Amino acid sequence: MSDDPPGPSRHRPAHLLVAGATGALRPAVLAATARGDTVTALARTAGPLGELEHRTGGRARPLPRDYEAPGLPEALAGAARESPFTGALLYCPLATPATVRALTAAVEPGRPVVLLLTSAHAAPDGEVGGGAVGARGDGAALAWTPARLPAAARPVPGCRLLVLGWRTEPEGPRWHTPEEISEAALRVLDADPARDAVLGRVRPWSSRPR
The mean per-residue pLDDT over the stretch 3-16 comes to 62
What is the largest distance, in Å, between two alpha-carbon atoms of the chain? 51
Tens of pLDDT, residue by residue over 33-85, are: 999 999 999 999 999 999 999 999 999 999 999 999 999 999 999 999 999 99
Tens of pLDDT, residue by residue over 139-180, are: 444 579 999 999 989 988 889 999 999 999 999 999 999 999
- Give Cα 78 distance to the centre of its chain: 22
Gap between the terminal Cα atoms of the chain: 19
Whole-angstrom distance, CA of residue 59 vs CA of residue 2:
33
Run of H or E residues at 54: helix 46-55
The answer, yes or no, to whether residue 136 has pLDDT greater than 50, is: no
DSSP letters, 13-53, are -SEEEEESTTTTTHHHHHHHHHTT-EEEEEES-HHHHHHHH
What pLDDT score does 143 carry?
76
Sheet of 60-64: strands edge to edge? 60-64, 38-43, 15-19, 87-90, 113-117, 160-164, 197-199
The answer, yes or no, to whether residue 7 has pLDDT greater than 60, is: no
pTM: 0.87
What pLDDT score does 125 carry?
72
- Average pLDDT of the chain? 88
